[in-house]
A and B are shown apart, each in its own frame.
Chain A
Amino acid sequence: MLVFAASQLLPGDIGRNVLGPFASPNDVKALDHQLGVDRPIYVQYGAWIGKLAHGNLGMSLEYKVPVASLLGPSLVNSLKLAAVAFVLVVPLSIVGGVFAALRRGHWLDRLITLTGLSLTAVPEFISAIVLILIFGLLLNWLPVTAASPADADAVTQIRYLILPGLALVMVLFGYIARMARAGTIEALESDYTRTAFLKGLDTATVIRRHVLRNSLLPTIAVIATQMGYLIGGLVVIEKLFNYNGIGQRIYTAALNKDFTMLQSGVLVVGIVYLTATLLADILYSLLNPRIRYAGVE
């Protein structure tokens, strides 16, 4: 398992290497000796990594304040939004997928599968626009921006995050539901499910105790891989809803050519992604005895 974790971390290192060259703002030739950006790229990269090891992300070129002081709150905001999206999408898509699997071939199954597939393919800002038109303007149920008033309590904050969260849900639903459906169908066709039925257990018990436990394992893996998309989606959604999160930070940093900010933002995204993957691996092995025992040996 340790080897697996290491191999998971490896791409992160390469990613950082790839990003190294962007450390040099080649168009900011008005040399900022103080910032040290006139030094060769590899020296800068070395210095950057060195500081990084001490938890120092450097100064923002645009705002002249430490990057960490800006990125920190943004990251928290983004995690709130991601959490709302997650809390909505995971139960919805698992229920949808399992339901479709149980009604396999029925028109409801086709409907859920095709809707999921189509929603997944529609760009998130389009889904968001349609959601804003329906829930924000036509029905007037939910606020159309994501940034809640400064002194808002938790419930109000969540209310503001539902629309942007839903837009992310629409993209993720298809993937997760499809996986849950495939997993459930496989489990339903297996020998142990037949045995369970033949033992005389009722359908609900068989599904709860035998089918779901096995069908949801691959689903967890898919949820983890979708974290990568989720972060990318945040860039677009946060801009659309004018929400001060990490995606918005990366976007404005890119517009203003604020390279230290951009670099750190992308690094944070990479770390969040790897952490999520690692957590999913751990969760997966906890739920799957086969892998757990294999790891111990």
Chain B
Amino acid sequence: MSTVATIVQPSEIRIARRETRRQLLRSKTFMAGVIIIAFWVFCAIFGYRIAPHDPLSQAFPQLQGLSRAYPFGTDQLGRDVFSRVLAGARDILIVAPLATLLGVVGGTTIGLVTGYFRGLTDDVISRIVDAVLSLPLIVIAVTVLVALGHSTLTVIVVIGLVFAPIVSRTVRAAVLAERQLDYVSASRLQGERAPYVMFVEILPNVFGPIVVEATVRLGYAIFAVAGLTFLGFGVQPPSPDWALQIADNYTLLGAGTYWWTVLFPALAIISLVVAVNLVADGLARVFGR
């Protein structure tokens, strides 16, 4: 029986995968999201090189409006906003995905364990999850960052740790549905150990919801990192990070209309988060959630 299963399954899986891929490629909103993200990833890698001016240089006239030399104007320290928008993709695209990764890996492990064992383990972990979720992320993050001192690594760890319980809920729900199925009992009767059943048998089957959850979390991670950076607890100067540019220049809004110093980095963040959400939306549709 097992030989039959191994012959039939791979081709079925391949067909299913090809179908998934085709559906994704056909979705206009999904592809738009992918293209925007790809553009910003490109900027994150090559931004410093393709920028017309040095993003960190303060050698230019201050607060110049839009012109051919400075397409997005210059800020109050005489830096070229266009170059900074291009180069500013880097930090957020390092910090947010790493925080997401940490949260998803942690959350998946917790979700598998709580969903698989249930009982006391489940109760205890679920209570801790509730406790973490009862305070707003920004408040937790600010408190922890003050206590531990703020560095990029702390930001990643804090956001990852707060996301883990949230992700674990989704994974737990998916695992609870899976563990009823025959293949899980079959594997257990075969004498497989719990970690093997969880990670080798169940995990591949709950992969869809995890991928969807990961993209949704990435959106929130960008949200959180940008917010913390704006408050001064995230990415630190002199990075040309978008949120940092806004934090540097928003006080000018009251005094005069130097709108270009904040509008362009704001648009950059908006395009990134909307793109991530379009991708998440497309994935959720295809994985049927």
> When A and B form their complex, what is the total count of cross-chain residue pairs whose Cβ atoms lie within 8 Å?
133
Chain B, Cβ-Cβ closest to A12: B134
Taken residue by residue from 170 to 200, chain B's Cβ proximity to chain A (1 for < 8 Å, 0 otherwise) reads as 0000000000000000000000000000000
A126 adjacent to B134 (CB under 8 Å): no
Residues in A with CB closer than 8 Å to B130 are 10-11
Chain A, Cβ-Cβ closest to B251: A242
Say whether B8 faces chain A, with CB atoms less than 8 Å apart.
Answer: no
Chain A, Cβ-Cβ closest to B130: A11
Within 8 A of B (CB), among A1-21: 10-12, 14-15, 18-19, 21
Complex CA–CA separation, A229 to B139 (angstroms): 10
Looking at the complex, which one of A232, A239, A274 makes contact with B137 (CB distance below 8 Å)?
A232
How far in angstroms is the closest Cβ of chain A from B275?
10
Looking at the complex, which one of B136, B137, B273 makes contact with A122 (CB distance below 8 Å)?
B273
B127 adjacent to A11 (CB under 8 Å): yes
Complex CA–CA separation, A176 to B143 (angstroms): 28
B131 adjacent to A15 (CB under 8 Å): yes
A123 adjacent to B146 (CB under 8 Å): no
A262 adjacent to B253 (CB under 8 Å): no
A144 adjacent to B136 (CB under 8 Å): no
A266 adjacent to B250 (CB under 8 Å): no
How far in angstroms is the closest Cβ of chain B from A12?
6
Residues in B with CB closer than 8 Å to A123 are 222-223, 226-227, 230, 243, 269, 273
Looking at the complex, which one of B138, B230, B259, B281 makes contact with A232 (CB distance below 8 Å)?
B138
Say whether A45 faces chain B, with CB atoms less than 8 Å apart.
Answer: no
A10 adjacent to B127 (CB under 8 Å): yes
Residues in B with CB closer than 8 Å to A250 are 139, 142
Taken residue by residue from 229 to 246, chain A's Cβ proximity to chain B (1 for < 8 Å, 0 otherwise) reads as 101110110011000000
Say whether B270 faces chain A, with CB atoms less than 8 Å apart.
Answer: yes
A22 adjacent to B147 (CB under 8 Å): yes
Taken residue by residue from 193 to 233, chain B's Cβ proximity to chain A (1 for < 8 Å, 0 otherwise) reads as 00000000000000000000000000110110011001111
A231 adjacent to B136 (CB under 8 Å): yes
Q: Interface residue count for B (Cβ, 8 Å)? A: 44
A240 adjacent to B250 (CB under 8 Å): yes
Q: Which of A65-73, A129-137, A198-206 contacts B (4 or more CB under 8 A)?
A: A129-137
B135 adjacent to A136 (CB under 8 Å): no
How far in angstroms is the closest Cβ of chain A from B152?
18
Which residue of A130, A232, A266 has the most chain B CB atoms within 10 A of its CB atom? A232
Say whether B266 faces chain A, with CB atoms less than 8 Å apart.
Answer: yes
B257 adjacent to A273 (CB under 8 Å): no
How far in angstroms is the closest Cβ of chain B from A194?
26
Complex CA–CA separation, A270 to B135 (angstroms): 6
Known: A123-B223, A126-B266, A235-B231. A254 touches B277 (CB 8 A): no
Say whether A48 faces chain B, with CB atoms less than 8 Å apart.
Answer: no
Complex CA–CA separation, A232 to B58 (angstroms): 35
Say whether B5 faces chain A, with CB atoms less than 8 Å apart.
Answer: no
Residues in A with CB closer than 8 Å to B263 are 129-130, 133
B143 adjacent to A11 (CB under 8 Å): no
Residues in B with CB closer than 8 Å to A218 are none
Say whether B51 faces chain A, with CB atoms less than 8 Å apart.
Answer: no
Residues in A with CB closer than 8 Å to B254 are 144-145
A236 adjacent to B231 (CB under 8 Å): yes
B142 adjacent to A254 (CB under 8 Å): yes
B134 adjacent to A228 (CB under 8 Å): yes
Within 8 A of A (CB), among B232-289: 232-233, 243, 246, 250, 253-254, 257, 259, 262-263, 266, 269-270, 273-274, 276-277, 281
Within 8 A of A (CB), among B68-100: none
Within 8 A of B (CB), among A169-225: none
Chain A, Cβ-Cβ closest to B256: A137
Looking at the complex, which one of A21, A125, A144 makes contact with B230 (CB distance below 8 Å)?
A125
Complex CA–CA separation, A100 to B249 (angstroms): 38
B136 adjacent to A269 (CB under 8 Å): yes
Complex CA–CA separation, A228 to B139 (angstroms): 10
Known: A118-B274, A121-B219, A122-B269. A137 touches B253 (CB 8 A): yes
Looking at the complex, which one of B135, B246, B253 makes contact with A15 (CB distance below 8 Å)?
B135
Residues in A with CB closer than 8 Å to B146 are 22, 254-255, 257, 262
Known: A232-B136, A251-B231. A133 touches B259 (CB 8 A): yes
Residues in A with CB closer than 8 Å to B142 are 235, 250-251, 254
How far in angstroms is the closest Cβ of chain B from A75?
14
B134 adjacent to A273 (CB under 8 Å): yes
A121 adjacent to B274 (CB under 8 Å): yes
A137 adjacent to B257 (CB under 8 Å): yes
Complex CA–CA separation, A6 to B103 (angstroms): 29
How far in angstroms is the closest Cβ of chain A from B256?
9
Within 8 A of A (CB), among B27-50: 29
Complex CA–CA separation, A250 to B232 (angstroms): 14
Chain B, Cβ-Cβ closest to A120: B277
Residues in A with CB closer than 8 Å to B7 are none
Say whether A109 faces chain B, with CB atoms less than 8 Å apart.
Answer: no
Known: A14-B131, A144-B253, A240-B250. A126 touches B270 (CB 8 A): yes
Say whether A79 faces chain B, with CB atoms less than 8 Å apart.
Answer: no
9 contacts between A and B (CB under 8 A): A19-B143, A122-B274, A228-B134, A240-B230, A254-B146, A262-B146, A266-B139, A269-B136, A273-B134
